[in-house]
Each structure stands twice: as C-alpha cells, then as structure tokens.
Structure 1
Amino acid sequence: MNTSNQDRRVQFVLDAFDTLFNRRDYAAAERLWSPRYIQHSAHIAPGRDGLFDLVKGLPATLRYENHVGAARGDFVILHGRFSGHGLPAAWVVADIVRMEGDVLAEHWDVIQDEATREQSRSGLPMFGDRFPG
C-alpha cells in the first residue's frame, strides 16, 4: 500500500471517530461502521449497536483527540485521548481498526488512564507534549 492510500485510510478512520464520538451523528456513523462490525474490546458490548449504545450513554462532553495514526493494509492504528466521559482521568487509547472496503469492520483497543505529571515515572506526558491540566 502506498503512502497516500495509508494516509487516506487513517483520515477515513479519524473522520469516522469524529462523526461518532465528537459530533454524535449516528445516521452518518451507520454508513461508516459495518452492520457486521466485530468488537473485541472488553469494555464495549458486541457489534455496531454495542458501540453506538455506549456512546449514547456517555455525557455530551465526551471528546476524542488524536495524536498519531498509521495504516498497513486493511489495518489502522490510532493513538488518541478520550476525555469528558465522566471519570476522573482521561483515557489514552490505542485503537486498532480493520477496514473492509470503506467501512470499519473490526476493532481492538488498549485503554489506560492518563497519568498526571506527579504520576508519570518517566516525567513525560502519555499524550501529546503536555500533561493534563
């Protein structure tokens, strides 16, 4: 896969995440997630409905920000932050998505509470170049 195809895949997944998590446009999101969507996350009920129902149950303050993304073949990995979900710490997440044509078909994630400056043994932030405010 050439770089421009990889970049397009990353941008497609970023746009899909923005559509669902930030804009909460469920009608548009249905066109971006496969009806046969496979969910591997231990935190989300099965299928596209499980994901959409989770988002619908979260506060309107939920936001997704991306730091980096990469693609290889049908797979896209995003390193991002979910904040405003009602818990004390934002989540820093590695999301891995398998694409099938022009829809998100399968998902895995690794989720970690974001560390403050005081909690960071490395002295470096987990997301971007700043610690959470």
Structure 2
Amino acid sequence: MSALEEKNKAVVLDAFDTLFNKRDYAAAERFWSPGYIQHSAHIAPGREGLFDLVRSLPPDLRHEYELVMAQGDMVMVRGRFSGHAQAAPWIAVDFLRIQDGVLAEHWDVIEQEATREQSLSHLPMYGDHFPEER
C-alpha cells in the first residue's frame, strides 16, 4: 500500500471519529470539502446535509470500524453505528473519495444489524458477537 493510501485511510478514520464520536463540528469541517458530494439516499446534499443529520441524532451516537481499505484516492470503511435510537445498530460500508487531503465524495450501503434469532447464517454481522450479547 502506498504512503498516500495509508494517509487517506488515517484521514477518513480521524474524520469519522471527529464527527460521529466527538461531535466536534468545527474540527470536522477541516476533513470534509466545502464542495462535498453526497450520494447517500438517506442524507441531504453536501457537508451541511451530513452535519445536520448527525446533529439530529442522539448524543450517544457511536461509530466503530473493523475494516478499512484504500486504493488510490478511494477509501472503504466497514463499520457499525449504534446509539442512534433506532431498533438496531446499522452496519455500514462507506466509500469515500479523497481529494487534496479531504473527503470529497461519499457512497454507502447500510443495513440493520441482525440478532442471533434473525441471522439465517447463525453468524454475527459485525465482530464476534451478536448485538444482544455485547
């Protein structure tokens, strides 16, 4: 992996921690481009659309990740969002394009985390434990 790809991964992880876990919107602005392009059907356009969504969620929202991959200017994060007052945590794969050291574009795939009873594979979707066993 190139030094740029390693740097891009670090930028994305720092950005996610700053926005989703620390809720530091002023600091998060330095990670998201003012021209940020949002492809998610669940989030309003631009950087402010994302920040407004996070502001609307409970303060105990948490993001954790278990896999980060990079290729060129693209970074993929497989993670889990919890504490958002929904029926189940979200398992998400976020795809981000990095341009000039900031997050410039975003796509995602999100689904609710299955319980042991719901899992036809009998395997957890995230980590080694089902959500009710954490």
TM-score norm. by structure 2 comes to 0.95
1:10 aligns with 2:2: no
Q: Which residue of 2 aligns with 1:85?
A: 84
Query: Percent identity among equivalent residues?
Result: 63
Counterpart amino acid of residue 44 in structure 1: I
1:42 CA drift (Å): 0.3
Give the secondary structure class of the aligned counterpart of 1:31. Answer: coil
Give the secondary structure class of the aligned counterpart of 1:24. Answer: coil
The C-alpha deviation readout for 1:21-77, integer Å capped at 9, x for no partner, is 000111110010000000000000000000000000100010000010100000000
Task: Note the 1:34-73 alignment, pairs <5 A.
Answer: 34-73=33-72
Counterpart amino acid of residue 111 in structure 1: I
Counterpart amino acid of residue 35 in structure 2: R
Give the secondary structure class of the aligned counterpart of 2:69. Answer: strand
Q: Which residue of 2 aligns with 1:117?
A: 116
The separation in 1 between residues aligned to 2:14 and 2:120, in whole angstroms, is 34
Q: Which residue of 1 aligns with 2:103?
A: 104
1:7 CA drift (Å): 2.5
Counterpart amino acid of residue 125 in structure 1: P
The separation in 2 between residues aligned to 1:109 and 1:27, in whole angstroms, is 24
1:26 aligns with 2:39: no
The separation in 1 between residues aligned to 2:131 and 2:5, in whole angstroms, is 30
The separation in 2 between residues aligned to 1:69 and 1:126, in whole angstroms, is 16
Tell me the C-alpha RMSD between the 2 structures.
0.9
1:8 CA drift (Å): 2.3
Counterpart amino acid of residue 103 in structure 1: V
1:89 CA drift (Å): 0.3
Give the secondary structure class of the aligned counterpart of 1:127. Answer: coil
The separation in 2 between residues aligned to 1:121 and 1:106, in whole angstroms, is 34
Q: Return structure 1 stretches of 4+ with deviation > 2 angstroms.
A: 4-8
1:129 CA drift (Å): 1.2
5+ residue gaps, structure 2: none
5+ residue gaps, structure 1: none
